[in-house]
Amino acid sequence: MLDRLLRSLFRLPAPRGPMDPSSGYDLWSSTYDSDTGNLLIELDELMFAGLLKRLPLRGKLIADVGCGTGRHWKKILAEEPAKLTGYDASKGMLRRLRRKYPKATVHQARAESLVHAADESCNIVVSTLALSHVAAAEDAIAEWYRILRPGGDILLTDFHPGAAATCECSFRHRGQVRTVKAYVHSIPFLKGAAAHNRLELLHFEETLVDGSMERYYGRQNMLPVFERMKGVPLLYGMHLRKPESSRA
């Protein structure tokens, strides 16, 4: 994360062009769970934990879209849902998830094409740090609406477009910086896509770069970058709900 902020702010070129998300995360999967000190991931852990408190999970059917290695599965499963199903475009990430959860039900699928999920087959859709890798975000939101039961909920977090417009999604692999293709979806656009699909926005939040994050930049000798980034939103979260009646 800090690598991509540095390259963006100082206009340092990435050594290679961006990879498509499935290939990029296949490559990243070998080190993803050990990628400590990633500011965005740590902020997402806090934000998503807060969003989870908004809903009772016990006995619910939950779909995790863009589940990756199952980063949030421990806290979801601790709430005793009836079933948790993962969907991800990356074979490598799903392979890592299965190592941690051998009995997991997972499918390789794109966020906008959940062909393994029937209409109205789950109570809750969660998706974290994934939607910015989908070109047609409105199609993904429509697909999530399709698989939700009436009255069902969506908990969504992602890299904020305020930062994504100038930064890249990157990671290190064998000493090289690699980037993953990402798309900038404005907050008004996302809210509009939700409203178009008759999803009610119950909660919205943003996390801005502030003084509490200075140490992350300091560890990377990037305090000048921190000064430039103060006040820039890095992460957003939404809680959306499908109406009880499909005719609402």
Domains of the chain: 2-241 (3.40.50.150)
Q: Within 13 Å and on the Cβ side, how many CA atoms surround 154?
A: 31
Residue 14: what pLDDT? 43
- Which residue in 3, 23, 28 sits closest to 13, CA to CA? 3
pTM score of the predicted model: 0.87
pLDDT value of residue 214: 72
Tell me, what's the pLDDT at 86? 98
CA dist., res. 30 & res. 17, Å (int)? 20
What is residue 10's predicted lDDT score, i.e. its pLDDT?
Answer: 32
Task: Tell me the C-alpha distance between 50 and 44, whole Å.
Answer: 10
* Residue-level pLDDT at 40: 83
pLDDT at 248: 46
- Is residue 41 within 8 Å of 28, Cβ to Cβ? no
* Structure token digits, residue 17: 């062009």
pLDDT tens per residue, the chain (248 residues)?
A: 445 444 443 334 444 678 888 998 999 988 898 877 678 888 899 999 999 999 999 999 999 999 999 999 999 999 999 999 999 999 999 999 999 999 999 999 999 999 999 999 999 999 999 999 999 999 999 999 999 999 999 999 999 998 877 667 777 778 788 888 889 999 999 999 999 999 999 999 999 888 777 777 677 666 776 777 778 888 999 999 999 975 54
Residue 51's CB is within 10 A of a number of other CB atoms, namely 20
Q: Determine the pLDDT at residue 221.
A: 67
68 to each of 201, 224, 242, how far by Cα in Å?
25, 32, 25
User: Within 13 Å of residue 130, how many CA atoms lie on the same side as its CB?
Assistant: 27
Q: In terms of DSSP H, where are the helices of the chain? A: 2-10, 21-28, 39-52, 73-77, 91-100, 137-147, 161-164, 187-196, 214-219, 223-229
**pLDDT, position 7:** 46
Radius of gyration from C-alpha coordinates of the chain = 18
Q: What whole-number distance in Å separates Cα of residue 39 and Cα of residue 41? A: 6
Distance in angstroms (rounded) separating the CA atoms of residues 218 and 215: 5
Q: Return d(Cα 10, Cα 3) in angstroms, integer.
A: 11
20-32 in b/e form (b: 16+ CB < 10 A) is ebbbbbbbbbeeb
